[in-house]
Amino acid sequence: MIAHPILWDSGVFFPGLQLWLDPRLPRPRAVVSHAHSDHVALHPVGFMTPATGRLISHRRTVIGRVHALPYGTPLSLGGARLTLHPAGHVLGSAQTLLETDFGRVLYTGDLKVRAGLTAAPASVVPADVLVLESTFGKPRYRFPDSGEVVDAVVRWCARVQADGATPVLLGYSLGKGQEVLAALAGAGFRLVLHPVLHAVTEVYRELGCSLPDYQRLDREAPAEGVVIMPPQARRAVGLRLGSHRVAALTGWAMDASLKDRLQVDAVFPLSDHADFDELCQYAEAVGPQMTYTVLGFDEDLALALRRRRPAAAAAAAITVLTGLNGGSRDQYLCAPMRRPGLRGALAATQSGSLGGSRLAHTAPALTRESATRPTGS
């Protein structure tokens, strides 16, 4: 048995399998959960869904050897079984299930629980160990009903047009842009896409995604309709749009200061991630004996999950996943135990029986560098 079967090393790391999940830096072999650039690196060997492989090749990121794994198709991997399941986040996004000799381990990757319009809905995958993304892992991130948010976006666009201006909606070129496009189907607007977003949307269509008619933002002709563009294109394009107003569509809209920080005219809380309640409910539905929180508000979410669990589940351990990050394996193994429950500490130790095999997850004692400002939208 491996004493420390799960670590953080640029991503979730299984030393016994020499397998990394979503490492930000190149690693010998890695699962790439979806095509967002902060989850993709130049790995010699990569496992991903066919749609993620196609979207990555569109962005010209070169991964040596790609193993395309459709959802639900298991692959044997050094004594473990790897299966990808829908994560609902963007087209092709996957949760990773590893069936190992120390139990079933589920890594959610970026996760959206509520049904979207352009990605297969996330399925609950029962597991013994859950590695849960925590982008919106704070109680203040409770998103309203998506249908009501879309209705508000439609009303805002109509008001802007009635004032003689062009409505501009900001959303990432992969995922959010297509989700907004699909949400505005039937609203009666002419829908105009920034060229970068347009190119990714063409790939979505090629992959079978159903979308309303749209057109490419023309360099010369004025935009007539609702313009959807990635946030970073705003300044370059805004200059030639004439009179326009800008709205940002993101889960960070729950922060009261976001409108001022982004200097936009409106914000709407439309996210491609699960909100706080959905993360908690998802963790409970998976029913693990051990939960690691990673990325975003990982400490807040671990604390909330510990408080929510019923007394009968008190034995289940919940902690932030920590790991190597520059330290040698020797340093990692020899690091001293400090305050339980805090980053930089040996946060939890849990032993239990799982299907006849012993589980011994011991969170290591080194700080994880990446736990800073959450990404995602």
Query: Contact residues for Zn ion (CB under 5 A)?
Result: 36, 110
Rounded least distance, CB 255 to Zn ion, Å: 19
In angstroms, rounded to a whole number, what is the distance separating the alpha carbons of residues 117 and 96?
22
Residue closer to Zn ion by CB (options 289, 377) is 377
Residue closer to Zn ion by CB (options 119, 227) is 119
In angstroms, rounded to a whole number, what is the distance separating the alpha carbons of residues 17 and 117?
36
Q: Residue 156: enclosing H or E segment and its boundaries?
A: helix 146-162
Rounded least distance, CB 282 to Zn ion, Å: 16
Map residue 331 onto helix, strand or coil: helix
Rounded least distance, CB 135 to Zn ion, Å: 9
Rounded least distance, CB 51 to Zn ion, Å: 14
| The token pair that represents 201 in the structure block | 């949307």
- Per the CB < 8 A criterion, the answer to whether 113 and 272 are in contact is no
Rounded least distance, CB 279 to Zn ion, Å: 15
Residue 50 phi, psi (nearest 5): -55, -40
Residue closer to Zn ion by CB (options 36, 361) is 36
In angstroms, rounded to a whole number, what is the distance separating the alpha carbons of residues 244 and 267?
15
Exposed e or buried b for every residue in 249-268, given b needs 16+ CB within 10 A?
bbbbbbeeebeeebebbbbb
Torsional sign, CA 102, 107, 113, 115: negative
Rounded least distance, CB 1 to Zn ion, Å: 34
Residue closer to Zn ion by CB (options 22, 300) is 22
Residue closer to Zn ion by CB (options 34, 138) is 34
Residue closer to Zn ion by CB (options 173, 319) is 173
| The token pair that represents 348 in the structure block | 């939890």
Residue 350 CB contacts under 8 Å (≥ 6 apart), including other chains: 289, 290, 315, 316, 317, 359, 360, 361
Residue 57 CB contacts under 8 Å (≥ 6 apart), including other chains: none
Rounded least distance, CB 372 to Zn ion, Å: 17
Residue closer to Zn ion by CB (options 34, 234) is 34
Rounded least distance, CB 64 to Zn ion, Å: 22
In angstroms, rounded to a whole number, what is the distance separating the alpha carbons of residues 97 and 185?
35
- Per the CB < 8 A criterion, the answer to whether 27 and 43 are in contact is yes
Map residue 254 onto helix, strand or coil: helix
In angstroms, rounded to a whole number, what is the distance separating the alpha carbons of residues 222 and 232?
20
Residue closer to Zn ion by CB (options 36, 54) is 36
